[in-house]
Chains A and B, each alone.
Chain A
Amino acid sequence: MTASVPRRDGLQADVVVERGDFRLEAAFTVAPGQVLAVLGPNGAGKTTLLRSLAGLGALTDGSITVGADTWDDARAGVFLPAVDRAVGLVFQDYRLFPHLSVLDNVAFSARARGAGRARARRDAAGWLARTDLEPLARNRPGVLSGGQAQRVALARALACDPRLLLLDEPLAALDARTRLEIRGELRRHLSAFAGPSILVTHDPLEAMVLADRLLVLESGRIVQEGTPTAVARRPATDYVARLVGLNLYAGTLTDRATRRVDLDTGGILYAAGHDQDADDEGATGADPTGTDMLVVLAPSAISIHTSRPDAGSPRNIWTGVVAGLELLTDRVRVAVDGSPSALVDITPAAVADLRLAPGQAVWLTAKATEVIAYADPGRAPARAPTDIPTAGGPAR
Chain B
Amino acid sequence: MTVTSPVRVPPRAPRPDGGRRPDADVTSRAPWPLAVPAVVAVAFLLLPLVGLLLRASWRDLPRLLLESEASGALRLSLVTATIATVISLILGVPLAWVLARARFRGRGLLRALVTLPLVLPPVVGGVALLFALGRRGFVGQYLDQWFGLTLPFTSAGVVLAETFVAMPFLVVTVEGAFRSADLGLEEAAATLGSRPFATFRRVTLPLIAPSLIAGSVLCWARALGEFGATITFAGNLPGVTQTMPLAVYQALERDPDAAVALSLVLLVVSVAVLALLRERWLHPGATL
Interface residues, chain A, with chain B CB atoms under 8 Å away: 54-56, 81-89, 91, 93, 95, 97-99, 108-109, 111-113, 156-157, 160
Contacts and interface: CB of A to CB of B under 8 A. Distances in A.
A84 B191 CA distance: 8
A130 to B, nearest CB: 18
Nearest to B196: A83
B190 interface: yes
Contacts of A111: 202
Interface stretch (B4-12, B83-91, B150-158, B180-188): B180-188
Given A83-B191, A91-B188, 20 more contacts: A55-B190, A56-B190, A56-B191, A82-B187, A82-B191, A83-B193, A83-B194, A84-B193, A89-B188, A89-B191, A91-B184, A99-B203, A99-B206, A108-B194, A109-B192, A112-B189, A112-B193, A156-B192, A157-B191, A160-B193
Given A93-B184, A95-B184, A112-B195, A82 B207 contact: no
A158 B101 CA distance: 30
A112 B198 contact: yes
A86 B188 CA distance: 12
A142 B200 CA distance: 21
B194 A112 contact: yes
B193 A113 contact: yes
B238 to A, nearest CB: 46
Contacts of A87: 191
- Most B CB within 10 A of own CB, among A91, A99, A112, A160: A112
Contacts of B206: 99
A157 B188 CA distance: 10
A56 B189 CA distance: 11
Contacts of B207: 98-99
Nearest to A111: B202
Nearest to B207: A99
Contacts of B188: 89, 91, 95, 97
A85 B194 CA distance: 11
Given A98-B207, A99-B206, A112 B191 contact: no
Nearest to B186: A95
Which bracket fits the contact residues of B? Answer: 10 to 19
12 contacts: A56-B187, A82-B187, A82-B190, A89-B188, A93-B184, A97-B189, A99-B206, A108-B192, A109-B193, A112-B198, A160-B191, A160-B192
Q: Chain B: interface secondary structure? A: helix
Contact of B187 (A84, A95, A99, A160): A95
Interface string B198-211: 10001100110100
A84 B189 CA distance: 12
Nearest to B190: A82
Interface string B93-114: 0000000000000000000000
Interface in B159-194: 182, 184-185, 187-194
B184 A83 contact: no
Given A83-B194, A86-B193, A109-B192, A97 B203 contact: yes
Given A56-B187, A95-B188, A83 B202 contact: no
A156 B189 CA distance: 11
Nearest to A91: B188
B191 A97 contact: no
Given A97-B203, A111-B202, A112-B198, A83 B190 contact: yes
A383 to B, nearest CB: 37
Contacts of B189: 97, 108, 112
A386 to B, nearest CB: 30
Contact of A97 (B185, B195, B198, B209): B185
Contacts of B194: 83, 108-109, 112
A55 B194 CA distance: 13
Given A95-B185, A99-B206, A54 B193 contact: no
Contacts of B187: 56, 82, 95
Contacts of B191: 54-56, 82-83, 85, 87-89, 157, 160
Contacts of A109: 192-194
A83 B187 CA distance: 9
Given A95-B188, A108-B189, A83 B203 contact: no
Contacts of A56: 187, 190-191
A330 B202 CA distance: 53
A56 B190 CA distance: 9
A71 to B, nearest CB: 13
Contacts of B185: 95, 97-98
